[in-house]
Copies of this chain bind each other. A is one copy, B any other.
Amino acid sequence: MARTMQKNGQKTVQKIVQKFGGTSVADIDRIKAVAQKIKREVDLGHHIVVVVSAMSGETNKLVEFARQAGQSQGSPEYDSVVATGEQVTSGLLAICLQTIGVAARSWLGWQIPIRTDGHHGRARIGTIETDNLDACLDAGEVAIVAGFQGRDQAGRITTLGRGGSDTTAVAIAAAIGADRCDIYTDVDGVYTSDPRIVPAARKIDRITYEEMLEMASLGAKVLQTRSVEMAMKHGVRVQVLSSFDDMIGSDWPGTLLVDEEEIVEKQLVSGVALSRDEAKITLIAVPDSPGVAAKVFGPLAEQGVNVDMIVQNISEDGRQTDITFTVPRGDIDSAVSIIEAQRGEIGYGRLAPDATVVKISVVGVGMRTHAGVALKMFQTLAEKGINIGVISTSEIKISVLIAEEFAELALRTLHAAYDLDAA
């Protein structure tokens, strides 16, 4: 089938991949509701591939079984056990569709096949053979694909890691040349900020892949980072939308991820995000000698502690310096232990750990071409008397570390300052 061009509201036949996550298929009633959504797209004449996750709770149950048996991470046996969750959902959804008169069949990773490397528990997709799926669509059947899984060269079942069904959906959309990949989830799109904190937050109609990646890495966990990267690489148009309302993807109710060129009126700032999973550690009075940074961050990296922001201030006399960095909040104790064990090696005055900080970020592709975004951020926070700890920037993002008590105030104030508030 030829790939068709599409515009909003256009009525041509399209190839659409739909992905439904665990809460969307939590029980039989929810699966039946999903079947109705699929039927509506089928009734519009579209060709549909559906990717499903395990019913919510099932994967955790299977992981716990494997842990009790003796394995806590990916292995051939672990993957064979854990992959059954998606297998069950795919078969049940096919049954629900058949029951309401929609031709459908389930496809397991090994049946398509989706070929992966042999890294069990975190396998990467190599090639997806499309003959079987194409034949299924051409026969007028909805193809229901068990997400999160594939097969390796040895013919064993592999899993892509948690959240991997998003990646399955985007990879299949790329492989079959789908017009759109609709990711049905428990939110109705990507917002300019967290609506629970910022009541004036608005749903974003279109967002670039790059912005979505920055938002995702900031804890706006709507989409798995890896699936966004894959969508960007292959130019897959991804729509994030809710499975809990009456809309379907062809109604365009959600947020569409697109190339930057597709967005004519670029926002200076697309969103303001908050991450609470932050802790700050300052090494005070460190000798300002070459290689000192390596002595601090080498051991942390070796122990798997992920360092995010780093700032180094040179003291007045030029002989001592302070080093501040951030780690995930849950890692603060181990980070402190690691640094203390290196005290003789590094030679510092004292350690000042602080787990009462948060990170606020403004994200927008517009800031590539507009100056003054950072200045506005600093001024706005200063006007409210909010002190900025650490600053880090990327091409389309500025992040600052502030005291936790100002989190909500800062988020709401910046949201208004960048004219993001709903009219």
Residues of A within 8 A of B (CB): 28, 31-32, 62, 65-66, 68-71, 75-78, 80-81, 84, 87-88, 90-96, 98-99, 105-106, 108, 110-111, 155-156
Tell whether A77 pairs with B91 under 8 Å between CB atoms, given A69-B31, A84-B84, A96-B70.
yes
Identity of the chain B residue whose Cβ is nearest the Cβ of A82 in the assembled complex: B91
Residues of B near A106 (CB, < 8 A) are: 76-77, 80
Residues of B near A93 (CB, < 8 A) are: 69
- Are A77 and B65 within 8 A (Cβ)? no
- A32–B70 Cα distance when bound, in Å, is 10
Residues of B near A66 (CB, < 8 A) are: 91-92, 95
Residues of B near A68 (CB, < 8 A) are: 28
- Are A87 and B77 within 8 A (Cβ)? no
Residues of B near A75 (CB, < 8 A) are: 95
Taking a contact as CB atoms closer than 8 A, the residue among B87, B95, B111 that contacts A71 in the complex is B95
| Nearest chain B CB to A303 CB, angstrom units | 26
| Nearest chain B CB to A33 CB, angstrom units | 12
Residues of B near A91 (CB, < 8 A) are: 66, 77-78, 80-81
Residues of B near A105 (CB, < 8 A) are: 76-77
- A78–B88 Cα distance when bound, in Å, is 9
5 residue pairs from A and B, CB less than 8 Å apart: A31-B69, A71-B98, A77-B92, A77-B98, A84-B88
| Nearest chain B CB to A272 CB, angstrom units | 43
Question: Among the interface residues A69, A155, A156, which one has the most CB atoms of the partner chain B within 10 A?
Answer: A69
- Are A70 and B95 within 8 A (Cβ)? yes
| Nearest chain B CB to A205 CB, angstrom units | 35
Q: Closest 7 A-B residue pairs measured CB to CB?
A: A70-B99, A81-B91, A84-B84, A69-B95, A80-B91, A28-B68, A77-B91
- Are A80 and B69 within 8 A (Cβ)? no
- Are A99 and B71 within 8 A (Cβ)? yes
Question: Among the interface residues A91, A98, A106, which one has the most CB atoms of the partner chain B within 10 A?
Answer: A91
Residues of B near A62 (CB, < 8 A) are: 88
- Are A69 and B81 within 8 A (Cβ)? no
Q: Given contacts A80-B87, A81-B92, A111-B156, list 11 more A-B pairs with CB under 8 A.
A: A28-B69, A69-B92, A70-B99, A75-B95, A77-B91, A77-B106, A80-B90, A81-B87, A81-B88, A81-B95, A84-B84
